[in-house]
Amino acid sequence: DTAVSQTPKYLVTQMGNDKSIKCEQNLGHDTMYWYKQDSKKFLKIMFSYNNKELIINETVPNRFSPKSPDKAHLNLHINSLELGDSAVYFCASSHMRVQETQYFGPGTRLLVL
């Protein structure tokens, strides 16, 4: 059984396009996160949502808009994609706070051409 799932796994697109990444967790967690991992493997938080409410927005450009339709889902929409957006995006979830184990999804590899 998949705990945290993401779709698609790979995403190749042209500069200027708009794309979405979907995330779902079946762990019953209240908090979900989006992370960006760059080519040097550096992992950085983008957003945290608790009970569908935005808690953390780490100075991410407005082109990135997360949406949480319910506690089990946190989607990421990216407008006007730029070359620098190429990275691996990970979704994660935890019960309430980060002090409770975060479970990560398999990642979405985004390549902007």
The residue ranges that bind another protein (CB under 8 A) are 4, 31, 40-45, 48, 50, 55-56, 58, 90, 92, 96-99, 101-107
Q: How far is the CB of 51 from another protein (least distance, A)?
A: 12
Q: How far is the CB of 113 from another protein (least distance, A)?
A: 21
Nearer to another protein, 3 or 113 (CB): 3
Nearer to another protein, 15 or 96 (CB): 96
Nearer to another protein, 66 or 105 (CB): 105
Q: How far is the CB of 14 from another protein (least distance, A)?
A: 24
From residue 94, give the alpha-carbon distance in Å to each of 30, 44, 100: 7, 16, 6
Nearer to another protein, 75 or 102 (CB): 102
Q: How far is the CB of 15 from another protein (least distance, A)?
A: 25
Dmax over CA atoms of the chain, in Å, equals 38
Q: Are 47 and 66 in contact (CB under 8 A)?
A: yes
List of residues 6+ apart from 45 with CB closer than 8 A: 33, 34, 35, 56, 58
Q: Are 42 and 57 in contact (CB under 8 A)?
A: no
The H or E element that residue 7 is part of is: strand 4-7
